[in-house]
Structure 1
């Protein structure tokens, strides 16, 4: 039986970065993944030259220059800037909330006019001293129009429950920009790998043995015996056989459509914020890479309840689940030969730059 220094369970971004660093440190690694492809949720499928983000839109953005330099040593990034639109009752609004949004809502043309309008809208909810739920918090922060048109329906669809049943802390603040700037992120660095995310994953895993369509849990003892240490990037509750309870997630469902037209919506991402529209957004993938193909691919993204067999996307970080995860984290500390990393093993929502940084930090801890 072959022996490895590290068995890495999961060929997503966290596992790929760690495997890359392990190889540079002279370690022998085996990466396994239950899916038929590498890359986890950043995997892209090629459809007539269009890189389709199979598991939802992914835009790499960061203010961490070390992380940006790291990924750019591996692949070249384009200049894509995330500037989503919101569709509500037949009208389009720019996101994030900026002077374009305020003009579209109220016709105001100056920052002073916009600030006055927001103050006027907030004034109606001054009586709310301690918001009891997300709806009260949002109304107190931004007033009725922004909440009704751009927050309420989208948020309720995403979480699968009324805003009055969601905790207030989900919206700690509502960022307003009093400039005409549609760049969604404030980070200094932003883009999409030229050729899609598969190029990045392939560069990270170059020269490393990868076995796909391989479920760790179907032959766990045999896999454990093949390596000195294991990096596990899957669901931490599944690793411990749910002995402290099942962690809750929200899932997503995707409806991909290849259309025989050149352009469907003229933008990569359009959010549908009305509650009576079942999907939360439509993604048009060619715009991530400024594509000029004669056809296009769009994806309707639907929020979904999580159940076994579905992909877990968003942790439900309420008090109950936080306590359950705390129990699993304590169990994880006792497993000296097992490392836990990535969004599922850490029960967190993590942007790609945070994922890269966390994998690099774990690698430094192991190899330096």
Structure 2
């Protein structure tokens, strides 16, 4: 049987494209090397709680069409992302807002908070590294307690060695607003993300535990075109060297108590705590289960066999990526999409938007 499209990767990009192609009566074969669909937004039930297996995923967007699109496949709740920072036992609200400034300095006047920040800011027109960039934006107190330790754990490097562009801006609000995102639409799908992907893939043939590269030539002959969402450097057999990533490790446990930390996300911003944050999954859906599931999240350097998460977009890697992209742009029967194929960290809404735009460009309007 000849398929119209071979889709490599059953994550959100591949699933949205498959759905759009199926609507247009195209035959799709979707393969994934994991034993489940959904990619990194996969959720599984543990003790009646939808656990975000690969880290917290909160859907947020200002794109009305994307929001309405995902709401066709699930009911989204009213979850608002309001993470907490724990610095050596001191608790601060995120993002930086009047609650944070009161916790830091005891100030309640927005003008006084602004003066505090201004008095600590580094006067630096062209910051040479992330530390200088952060100090020029928010000053020393916020940097030392809420940015430095977390960032160095996340990237495995000193802030003085990290490029300034990683934090081009930092949200600073002089209001008492703990909503992390400014987007108009925000929520978590009731029942988790996996059912959304399963609905998107209805009508496509799905094969799991399949490594595309173990039989690439055969798979390529099975379809007219390939939608590739995997690592771009791997597609070209690392011709220009391996692109670098940071990856995550997760340590999850079920606790025999209804509530562990009172919030879905608590960031640990000191350097001594080895993990970056603790996720308590039930709070994403306002759960009342008798037990709870918590996950400690550790950041580490990517090694072959790990799941790649965050591209290290420094000059060296970006130069290599452009060499790979030149090859990709010459392909006539392969379409590359998603964070790994484009070597770019995307929010979920951007993946949906890009997949919809790619489908329309390839297939036309319904």
TM-score normalised by the chain length of structure 2: 0.98
**Are residues 1:359 and 2:358 paired?**
no
Return the match for 2:314 from 297, 313, 318: 318
* Separation in 2, partners of 1:132, 1:151: 17
Q: What's the secondary structure of 2:29's corresponding residue?
A: strand
Q: What's the secondary structure of 1:92's corresponding residue?
A: strand
1:1-368 aligned at under 5 Å gives the runs: 2-122=1-121, 125-126=122-123, 128-368=124-364
* Separation in 2, partners of 1:170, 1:32: 33
User: What's the RMSD between the two structures over aligned residues?
Assistant: 0.8
TM-score normalised by the chain length of structure 1: 0.98
**Deviation beyond 3 Å, 4+ runs, structure 1:** none
Q: Deviations over 1:139-176 (max 9, x none)?
A: 12111100000000000011101011111222222221
Deviation at 1:130, TM superposition (A): 2.9
* Separation in 2, partners of 1:174, 1:54: 28
Q: Answer yes or no: is the 8 Å Cα contact 1:261–1:295 preserved in 2.
A: yes
Q: What's the secondary structure of 1:354's corresponding residue?
A: helix
Q: Answer yes or no: is the 8 Å Cα contact 1:233–1:340 preserved in 2.
A: yes
* Separation in 1, partners of 2:9, 2:246: 20
Q: Deviations over 1:292-324 (max 9, x none)?
A: 000000000000110100010000111111111
Deviation at 1:331, TM superposition (A): 0.5
Alignment coverage as a number of residue pairs: 364
Q: What's the secondary structure of 2:287's corresponding residue?
A: coil
* Separation in 1, partners of 2:125, 2:14: 45
Q: Deviations over 1:80-108 (max 9, x none)?
A: 10000000011110000000000000000
Structure 1 alignment gaps of length 5 or more: none
Q: Answer yes or no: is the 8 Å Cα contact 1:5–1:28 preserved in 2.
A: yes
Q: What's the secondary structure of 1:70's corresponding residue?
A: helix
Q: Deviations over 1:233-292 (max 9, x none)?
A: 000000010011110001110001111111000000000000111100000000000100
* Separation in 1, partners of 2:165, 2:335: 31
Q: Answer yes or no: is the 8 Å Cα contact 1:88–1:150 preserved in 2.
A: yes
Q: Answer yes or no: is the 8 Å Cα contact 1:193–1:199 preserved in 2.
A: no
* Separation in 2, partners of 1:144, 1:31: 50
Q: What's the secondary structure of 1:141's corresponding residue?
A: helix
Deviation at 1:129, TM superposition (A): 4.1
* Separation in 1, partners of 2:256, 2:32: 34
* Separation in 2, partners of 1:66, 1:183: 22
Q: What's the secondary structure of 2:170's corresponding residue?
A: coil
